[in-house]
Amino acid sequence: MIEQYIKDQQLNLNSILIDRLNQLNIPDDFKQAVFYSIEAGGKRLRPILMMVTYEAFKNNTDKIVDPAIALEMIHTYSLIHDDLPAMDDDDFRRGQATLHRRFDEATAILVGDGLLTYALMSFPRPRNWKQKKNYTIQQLSQSAGYEGMIAGQHLDLKAEDRQLEETELNDIHQLKTGAIIRAAIKIGAYLGGATPPQIEALDELVNI
């Protein structure tokens, strides 16, 4: 049952992502590069965690789809940039050439930049959604920014070619990977109508 749920949500998210990106008015060769990374596979773990948390408080998932899509765009951007020669300098991801190897470095940078900025447009615009939108953007920005994923990548780069203490490794994982996962759960709970103590309890549960 759980496996089928995950599979169904993966297919649903992939379909929505492709539909959204197909609407972009950009050159065909550049769109090809965008789709190359989006269609590279992936578990869609982060957006599914957001949706599952939301469903713990509400049944209808329609209002969580846009934030979930935004989160996946941000995650994909982070992978593209992590693979760059100036970062982890990876040649393969998910069994295929990384974006900068398949196309070129400049294209990879621009695709990543585009996914990050496009993600922040992927929210409903009704007037009664303003507070929820502000909360969602704040959580995504903080978790992906200087106090989250970017800080984790900085520490990861500094740690190359040396033995790490357990606490140092834990700090890298908490920032580079954990911050976005925590944001996914907090956003899902908040949009689902969870109380502040419930959101805090969930945050503490995953902040291990």
Q: What is the pLDDT of residue 185?
A: 96
What tens digit of pLDDT does each residue of 120-153 get?
Answer: 887 766 667 788 889 999 999 999 999 999 999 9
The arithmetic mean of pLDDT across residues 186-203, rounded, is 94
Q: What is the pLDDT of residue 205?
A: 84
Q: What is the pLDDT of residue 41?
A: 73
Closest Cα to residue 143, out of 66, 70, 197, 64?
A: 70
Q: Into which CATH architecture does domain 2-206 fall?
A: Orthogonal Bundle (1.10)
Cβ(31)–Cβ(24) below 8 Å: yes
The arithmetic mean of pLDDT across residues 42-55, rounded, is 92
What tens digit of pLDDT does each residue of 144-190 get?
Answer: 999 999 999 999 998 887 887 888 888 899 999 999 999 999 999 99
Domain boundaries, the chain: 2-206
Q: Specify the residue for token string 């549960």.
A: 205
Q: What is the pLDDT of residue 207?
A: 74
What tens digit of pLDDT does each residue of 6-28 get?
Answer: 888 888 999 999 998 998 899 99
The arithmetic mean of pLDDT across residues 46-68, rounded, is 90
Q: Global pTM?
A: 0.92
